Structure 1
Amino acid sequence: MLVGGVDEAGRGSIIGPLVVAGVSVRESKIAKLKEMGVKDSKLLTAQARERLYGEIISLSEHHHIHVIKSTEVDANVLLKGLNRLEAKAMAHVISHINAKEVFVDCCDTNTGRYRDYIASHLETVPTIHSLHHADRINVVVSAASILAKITRDAEIKKIRKRHRDIGSGYPSDERTMLFIKDWVGRKKCPPAFARKSWKPLRLMLEELEQRTLI
């Protein structure tokens, strides 16, 4: 039987895409993931994630990665639908990994509701386990978290090549926020690759609009 894991990277970021990844592994090979050193991507060094990325793809039966642009994130946040967007993306990934049983990292406070969101977008519904912190407690989800993180980092590197010092892309990063503040100050608009629905950038744009009206 194939067991699947699905996770995301970049949900809280103010720059760059939200990435959802999934893998399916034969039940008999799950122990091998642990032997390889697979764990939650946040607990691994960049070098370890790079090494494991190829090993995970080689070991898995299927993998699928879905990249959601900042503009799509914005459109759904404005409708208070970020959880539904992520659930739809997870359903898309699940439909490509052919697993009979799937573990997903749940972003909703209600795990059952989130499972039902995902199931509503699937024609064939496997057994879905919706869990908080699944990337820490389930090694197949950990494997998916590594694929998502590596893909997300690659997207950030593309932006960094053109715009240099953008930091990590997260609102908690002072370099990231200084980059956005400088951009808005000079160009009077947000970067296309930034999420203008996020509160820090939204406040900058509101302040800019107020200054323009004075």
Structure 2
Amino acid sequence: MKVAGIDEAGKGPVIGPMCIGGVLTDEENLHSIKNLGVADSKKLSPKRREDLFLKIEKYASKTFVLEISPSQIDELRKIMTMNEITVMGFSKVLENLQPDTAYVDAADVKAERFGKKLTESYTVNVRKPLTVVSEHKADDKYPIVSAASIVAKVTRDRRIEELKKSIGKDFGSGYPSDRKTKDFLDNWVKENGSLPDFVRHSWKTAEQCLENK
């Protein structure tokens, strides 16, 4: 039986993509993933995440990351909520992996509702049965979801570092609560009169920067 774990990194930031990571393995190999020492990516150092990322790719049957850009998020938010965008993204990762069972970190206050919507979205596009286990803090409970969390987080971190190098500026984490990120956006708008394409224009933080201009 094929088992997958799915998790996202970057749902809330104002800068950069949302990355949805998926890890697929045979059921009998789940212990190998666990023995790597995987954990919720937020509890690991960047170096530890990078080390585990390489090991996960080696032991998993397949890994896949879907990146949803800021401009794609802005367009989609005109017709759906962020939770619905996340369901759509998780479904696309599942379509790529096509497991028999999927463990997912619920991106909805109601974990059961998230799992139901994900199952419905998947079965519309892939006409084969799928068991979805949707829980909050699944990246803490299930090593296969921890692995997906690491794959998603490492991919997003790499994109953020690439972005900082390309513009020659350090904007911090990219989250609205980060003072460094907020100051960067304020200064960018003052200098350029508009927001860059790597920012989610539909976020309140971004809109406020334009209003303050």
TM-score range, shorter chain: over 0.9
1:74 paired with 2:65, answer no
Say how many residue pairs are matched. Answer: 208
TM-score by length of 2: 0.93
Per the TM alignment, residue 130 of structure 1 is displaced from its structure 2 partner at its CA by 1.0
Residues 18-39 of structure 1 show CA distances to partners (whole Å, capped at 9, x for unaligned) of 0001011222221222221101
CA RMSD of aligned residues (A): 1.3
SS in structure 2 at match of 1:120 = helix
1:165 paired with 2:170, answer yes
Per the TM alignment, residue 173 of structure 1 is displaced from its structure 2 partner at its CA by 1.4
Per the TM alignment, residue 119 of structure 1 is displaced from its structure 2 partner at its CA by 2.0
1:192 paired with 2:197, answer yes
The match for 2:207 is 202
CA distance in 2 between counterparts of 1:165 and 1:63 reads 30
The match for 2:85 is 85
Per the TM alignment, residue 80 of structure 1 is displaced from its structure 2 partner at its CA by 4.6
The match for 1:98 is 98
SS in structure 2 at match of 1:172 = coil
CA distance in 2 between counterparts of 1:96 and 1:25 reads 13
Unaligned stretches of 5+ residues in structure 1: 209-214
Per the TM alignment, residue 207 of structure 1 is displaced from its structure 2 partner at its CA by 3.2
Amino acid at match of 2:203: W
CA distance in 1 between counterparts of 2:20 and 2:80 reads 19
**Greater shift in the superposed pair: 165-174 or 176-185:** 165-174
The match for 2:139 is 135
The match for 2:181 is 176
Amino acid at match of 1:38: V
**Greater shift in the superposed pair: 110-119 or 157-166:** 110-119
Report if the CA contact (8 A) 1:63-1:96 is conserved: no
**Greater shift in the superposed pair: 14-23 or 120-129:** 120-129
CA distance in 1 between counterparts of 2:106 and 2:85 reads 13
CA distance in 2 between counterparts of 1:177 and 1:189 reads 14
SS in structure 2 at match of 1:3 = strand
Matched-pair identity in %: 34
Report if the CA contact (8 A) 2:10-2:18 is conserved: yes
Unaligned stretches of 5+ residues in structure 2: none
Output aligned runs, 1:94-133, within 5 Å: 94-122=94-122, 123=126, 124-133=128-137
CA distance in 2 between counterparts of 1:79 and 1:178 reads 30
The match for 2:148 is 144
CA distance in 2 between counterparts of 1:130 and 1:161 reads 37
The match for 1:211 is none
Report if the CA contact (8 A) 1:24-1:63 is conserved: yes
Amino acid at match of 2:57: I
Residues 92-133 of structure 1 show CA distances to partners (whole Å, capped at 9, x for unaligned) of 111122311101111111222212221232223410011111
SS in structure 1 at match of 2:175 = coil
CA distance in 1 between counterparts of 2:93 and 2:47 reads 26
CA distance in 1 between counterparts of 2:198 and 2:100 reads 36
TM-score by length of 1: 0.92
Report if the CA contact (8 A) 1:6-1:145 is conserved: yes
Report if the CA contact (8 A) 1:88-1:117 is conserved: no
Per the TM alignment, residue 198 of structure 1 is displaced from its structure 2 partner at its CA by 1.2
Per the TM alignment, residue 4 of structure 1 is displaced from its structure 2 partner at its CA by 0.7
CA distance in 1 between counterparts of 2:129 and 2:159 reads 31
Amino acid at match of 2:191: R
The match for 2:51 is 51
Per the TM alignment, residue 58 of structure 1 is displaced from its structure 2 partner at its CA by 1.1
